[in-house]
Amino acid sequence: MELTEVRQQIQQTDQELLQLLAKRRKLALAVAEAKISQNKPIRDQQREEELLLRLIESGKTMELDAHYVTRLFHVIIEDSVLQQQAKLQGELRGMQGPSVKVAYLGGQGSYSYWATQKYFTRRAEQIIDIGCDSFNEIIKAVETGHADYAVLPIENTSSGSINEVYDLLQHTRLSIVGELTHPIDHCVLGLPGAALNQIRQICAHPQVIAQCSQFLLGLTNIKVEYCDSSSDAFQRVQQKQDPTIVAIGGEAGGKIYGLEVLARDLANQKDNVSRFIVVARKAISVAKAIPAKTTFIMFTGQQPGALVDALTVLKRHGISMAKLESRPIPGNPWEEMFYVDVLANAGDYAMTRALEELNRITKFIKVLGCYPSEDIQPTEVPA
């Protein structure tokens, strides 16, 4: 067969795959409706396990190996669960009418830009993206009504918590209404013709520098220029037109600015993933059929055992903690505000009781938001 002919057949097959994926998505939404009327949880891992085992067996008869089949269906099932969750929350393609205005760090091509697209594509027909130069400006954009939502990075597997964002959350009346994780693949990006052994200057956001610290330690005589965002770094490299100046950022983002990859996989951790939060002026309540997270901040005072007592309240109510972070309280040297993420719905009986008790024993407590958990752990099946 001729190359062009085979390629045509591949194209036709891919088109059929897309149609089948779209059909499967629609069916998953029909399942969500049935679950809503029967008051059933969205996720059913037993069903997922049965389905995966059946597909693996059937794949073997077609010379498709188990690993390949499992990987593909993890992605498909994750999408299906997230579509169903968005539907149940009443957010699917109509979060606030047809379009949403979203504030985020940088411009087109920054990591926050991709996270914004990923989160809101499911939820709105049109995203009006409002790029900002700082986290402070992002918060202000939503507070003043200039934007409906903000997307903010809160932690990263290589560099840990993003303190600036934690500190801003202490002083805003905005609520956390969503979360998402997004893989962050750092690359060195330069003008066409640039070479890795000739670079003299690197432009990058300070968070990116922190996440690639080990790679940067191996370089000598290179100036590092801090930028407001990865897209700001790309823009600077594009404007300077000097092949010895490069940026660090994501490949897809760099492409928008005509930059090419000179090196990849720069992050200290192999799995470099950022968690983003979505904030809005109005808090939401999360449907019971969806796994929820609640984030609150508390000041316990410094008496012996104060934090243990607070955490014991969670333990007594059977509430699991996903994260505990402490940050200084401005104006009160050496006193700390604790940030707590728990795997619970703020509207549940146990959580309401726990919050009431915490209210009594702490000096200050505030719920920053309750939101659907988008951390869909894949169902593993025996090999």
Question: Please, what is the minimum distance in Å from the beta carbon of residue 6 to ligand ISJ?
Answer: 32
- Residues numbered 26 to 45 that lie near ligand ISJ (CB under 6 A) are 28, 31, 43-44
Lookup: tokens for 360: 């009594």
Lookup: tokens for 186: 């750092």
Q: How far apart are CA 286 and CA 372, in angstroms?
A: 6
Question: Please, what is the minimum distance in Å from the beta carbon of residue 62 to ligand ISJ?
Answer: 19
Which residue is listed with tokens 């891919």?
14
* 28/154 with CB nearer ligand ISJ: 28
Label each residue of 250-287 as H, E or C: CHHHHHHCCCEEEECCCCCCCCCEEEEEEEECCCCCCC
Distance set, CA 200 to CA 29, 183, 185, 203 (Å): 53, 28, 22, 10
Question: Please, what is the minimum distance in Å from the beta carbon of residue 379 to ligand ISJ?
Answer: 8
What is the signed CA dihedral for 242, 235, 118, 207, rounded to 10 degrees? 80
Count CB atoms within 10 A of the CB of residue 99: 14
Binding-residue pattern over the window 82 to 101 for ligand ISJ, x denoting contact by CB under 6 A: --x-----------------
Asked if residue 23 binds ligand ISJ (CB under 6 A), the reply is no
* 168/292 with CB nearer ligand ISJ: 292
Taking CB under 6 A as the binding criterion, the range among 78-86, 138-146, 198-206, 259-267 that sits at the site for ligand ISJ is: 78-86
Q: How far apart are CA 147 and CA 129, in angstroms?
A: 9
Asked if residue 77 binds ligand ISJ (CB under 6 A), the reply is yes
Question: Please, what is the minimum distance in Å from the beta carbon of residue 48 to ligand ISJ?
Answer: 5
* 25/255 with CB nearer ligand ISJ: 25
Question: Please, what is the minimum distance in Å from the beta carbon of residue 123 to ligand ISJ?
Answer: 19
Q: How far apart are CA 263 and CA 236, in angstroms?
A: 19
User: In which element (H, E) is residue 332 found?
Assistant: strand 332-342
Asked if residue 49 binds ligand ISJ (CB under 6 A), the reply is no
Q: Note whether 277 and 179 are within 8 A (CB).
A: yes
Across 184-330, the runs of DSSP E, i.e. the strands, are 187-190, 201-204, 223-226, 245-249, 260-263, 273-280, 292-299, 321-329
Question: Please, what is the minimum distance in Å from the beta carbon of residue 51 to ligand ISJ?
Answer: 5
Question: Please, what is the minimum distance in Å from the beta carbon of residue 45 to ligand ISJ?
Answer: 6
Asked if residue 54 binds ligand ISJ (CB under 6 A), the reply is no
219: region left, alpha or beta (phi > 0 left; psi from -120 to 50 alpha)? beta
Question: Please, what is the minimum distance in Å from the beta carbon of residue 377 to ligand ISJ?
Answer: 11
Distance set, CA 108 to CA 151, 231, 234, 294, 357 (Å): 14, 7, 10, 31, 45
* 278/289 with CB nearer ligand ISJ: 289
Count CB atoms within 10 A of the CB of residue 370: 24
Q: How far apart are CA 376 and CA 81, in angstroms?
A: 8
Asked if residue 81 binds ligand ISJ (CB under 6 A), the reply is yes
* 245/289 with CB nearer ligand ISJ: 289
Number of residues that bind ligand ISJ (CB under 6 A): 11
Binding test (CB under 6 A) with ligand ISJ, winner from 36, 51, 64, 263: 51
* 35/317 with CB nearer ligand ISJ: 35
Asked if residue 48 binds ligand ISJ (CB under 6 A), the reply is yes
Asked if residue 374 binds ligand ISJ (CB under 6 A), the reply is no
Across the strands, what pairs with 150? 103, 279
Question: Please, what is the minimum distance in Å from the beta carbon of residue 68 to ligand ISJ?
Answer: 17
Binding test (CB under 6 A) with ligand ISJ, winner from 7, 26, 47, 223: 47
* 42/152 with CB nearer ligand ISJ: 42
- Which residue has the CB atom at the shortest distance from ligand ISJ? 80
Contacts with ligand ISJ by CB under 6 A lie at 28, 31, 43-44, 47-48, 51, 77, 80-81, 84
